[in-house]
Structure 1
Amino acid sequence: MRADRLIQALLLLQGRESVTAAELAEELEVSVPTARRDLHALLDAGVPIYPRVGRGGGWQLVGGARTDLTGLTGPEAFALMLRLTRVGAESEAAVRAERKMLQALPRSFRDAAERVVAATVHEGPWGRDEPVPAAPPYAQLLQDAIAAGAAVALRYRDRPAAVALIPLVVGRRGDLWYGMAAPPREGTDVADVSRMRTYRIDRIGELRVLSRPGRAPDDFSPEQAWRDMVAIVDARRGAVAATVTVAPEVVTAFCRWFGEYAVAGGGEAGGRVHVEVRAQSARALAEQLAGWSAEVEVIEPEVVRRELAAIGARLVTTYGERSDSTP
């Protein structure tokens, strides 16, 4: 473990002008005395570092010396950094790798990479579990624009023209990727976050990185913006609730299908299980329940039962017994 810490300490030193023992302790999640001992261990091992006392002091590499532990050039390390954000840091090891890569980048690349890392969000799915997908090309292009501090021209498939926007967040929820972007404030290259919108990336028909600059406001928090958006969507998706009973042999599959929008309750005679399910509307909820046939029965509300009955009537009209006897 100490060897791993020393490598992290060295990467941190080569990525910053100077590092205090307190900063190193926070980064390595150790005590300040332990961090100070690690710095002296690097010095004893012949690493060209020295402490600088006084205001703005700290430990630094002599003459900006660098030890390339990765064997990667700056552009190669930056490309790998972006790839880590595109598959998601799903484990502690991936998070540590992401942190180390950031520290190893030269300053000219690190600022851009830090913008992309801060603006990229990965979350579990709305509803049922899905495999983690790789970022689609347009998600990668949005990340490239964020790294470059550039605006983009974005057109939805059903829109006639593209609009100039400043990309702010690239996020994944389940199997879907989203981009959050806003037009610039008038006469500036700063995004007007009061006009920020969320775009489903699989619905984008055209996306180009523009030569004009575009950046987020200094006080903008990508993580908070994403949380606010998710809260709004969750509220909409769970606006209508229904109580249903589910056959015991399909309860597990049924609850997995609805994911966080299903809450199982107690059982009843015959083994059926009470479950509360939610969706954004009575019709949407009925459409999701219809495929479960008699395995699921809606107890309430009546509006969902009526929607299911209407779906059944349409199915009978379409697929009911034909007037002819064609085999």
Structure 2
Amino acid sequence: MRADRLMAVLLLLQQREHVTAAEVARELEVSERTARRDLDALGMAGVPVYSTQGRGGGWRLVGGARTDLSGLTASEARALFLVAGPASAATPAVKAALRKLVRALPEPFREQAEAAASSLVMDAQQWGSSRVEHPPPRFLDELQDAVIRGVQVRLGYVDRDGALTERTVHPLGIVAKGTAWYLVSRTEAGRRTFRVDRVSSVDPTDDPVDRPQDFDLAESWREIADEVDRRRTPLEVRALCVPHGIGVLRMAFGGRLEVGGSTTDGRIEVVIRGQDEYVLAGELCGLVEWLEVTGPPGVRGRLASIGGALVERYG
């Protein structure tokens, strides 16, 4: 919501010669204190807004900029479209406003603002159950700049075994997966994904990126994430679930759950992915009230073993 409010405040500043905290509070249905914080936040973020005191005071954009956004520098326009672009979590209303605003940008800013709007994907879900916090990596800004400017980079990269390699890549987009950051690139070997915290050096070139005409970062990331999930959870368990238990399964398994069609007895076919039979059976054994596992036999056998052990211990 904060990004949405800041966008709305900027729109008000563009539409009017000046605004007061009371006007912003009334328009956005927030307190005047929150409105003042948002106006101050715009200035701290680099948007050229300033305040005047006394009668007739309020907040204005430097130079009296209005709908042409001439008060924004190229980097400020890029930053605005980056935090509330089509690939972000901004509301549909904000995204629609951005599509209108991009046409009002000065010509030199327009191309990079559009590139910034599609350069980042936010994927809030962590891999697996990991809750490790990753600080922003060292070369994140340089790589994002290369994506937006559309230039190739010579990349130094340390792989998971600690080996250092250097290669020239075509940066296509940046993805935040939970608190980890990834660079999606085209290379001589095809599309590749690099963890930004393993990047050891970034040297931009003057050569343009060879970007596939139909490339969509969000769609590309979905394909990458699905493939990683399949590799991390290769075991698939088939089961039947009562309709009112689907919500429980969604909370328990998230993206590892696939919901199918209904059977003749009213239950619903589901597939649940996991790492191995032992771990997955442990996750499933507490769901017997809603779920009947139909395969594979190894998981059913482990569930029966767990059930026998529970009966023996607790009677």
Partner of 1:210: helix, strand, or coil? strand
> How much is the aligned-residue C-alpha RMSD, in angstroms?
5.0
Tell me the matched-pair count: 236
Shift in CA distance, 285/276, structure 1 to aligned 2, threshold 3 Å: farther
Q: Are 2:176 and 1:166 equivalent residues in the alignment? A: no
User: Residue 158 of structure 1: CA displacement?
Assistant: 3.8
Distance in 1, Cα, partners of 2:162 & 2:172: 21
User: Residue 293 of structure 1: CA displacement?
Assistant: 3.0
Unpaired segments of 5 or more residues in structure 1?
1-6, 12-65, 184-191, 321-327
Question: Structure 1 length as normaliser, TM-score?
Answer: 0.52
Question: Which letter does structure 2 place at the counterpart of 1:291?
Answer: E
User: Residue 147 of structure 1: CA displacement?
Assistant: 1.9
**Residue by residue, what CA displacement relative to the aligned partner does 1:147-171 show, whole Å, maximum 9, x if unpaired?**
2324143334543214332311324
Shift in CA distance, 286/169, structure 1 to aligned 2, threshold 3 Å: farther
Q: Are 2:295 and 1:291 equivalent residues in the alignment? A: no
Name which of 248, 251, 255 aligns with 1:253.
248
Q: Where do 1:73-92 residues align within 5 Å?
A: 73-85=73-85, 88-92=88-92
Shift in CA distance, 87/168, structure 1 to aligned 2, threshold 3 Å: closer
Q: 8 Å contact 1:125–1:175 — kept in the other structure?
A: no
Q: 8 Å contact 2:124–2:178 — kept in the other structure?
A: yes
Q: Are 2:111 and 1:111 equivalent residues in the alignment? A: yes
Q: Are 2:281 and 1:263 equivalent residues in the alignment? A: no
Distance in 2, Cα, partners of 1:214 & 1:123: 30
Partner of 1:196: helix, strand, or coil? strand
Unpaired segments of 5 or more residues in structure 2?
1-10, 16-65
The share of aligned pairs that are identical, in percent, is 27
Bigger radius of gyration among the two: 1
Shift in CA distance, 156/115, structure 1 to aligned 2, threshold 3 Å: farther
Q: 8 Å contact 2:142–2:202 — kept in the other structure?
A: yes
Shift in CA distance, 171/284, structure 1 to aligned 2, threshold 3 Å: farther
Q: Are 2:208 and 1:215 equivalent residues in the alignment? A: yes
Q: Are 2:146 and 1:145 equivalent residues in the alignment? A: yes
Name which of 189, 202, 206 aligns with 2:199.
206
In structure 2, the residue matched to 1:323 is none
In structure 1, the residue matched to 2:272 is 278
Distance in 2, Cα, partners of 1:285 & 1:100: 53
Distance in 1, Cα, partners of 2:264 & 2:245: 15
Q: 8 Å contact 2:69–2:105 — kept in the other structure?
A: no
Shift in CA distance, 169/124, structure 1 to aligned 2, threshold 3 Å: same
Shift in CA distance, 248/274, structure 1 to aligned 2, threshold 3 Å: closer
**Residue by residue, what CA displacement relative to the aligned partner does 1:93-134 show, whole Å, maximum 9, x if unpaired?**
221243244334433333233333344345686999xxxx99
Partner of 1:79: helix, strand, or coil? helix
In structure 1, the residue matched to 2:191 is 196
Question: Which letter does structure 2 place at the counterpart of 1:112?
Answer: Q
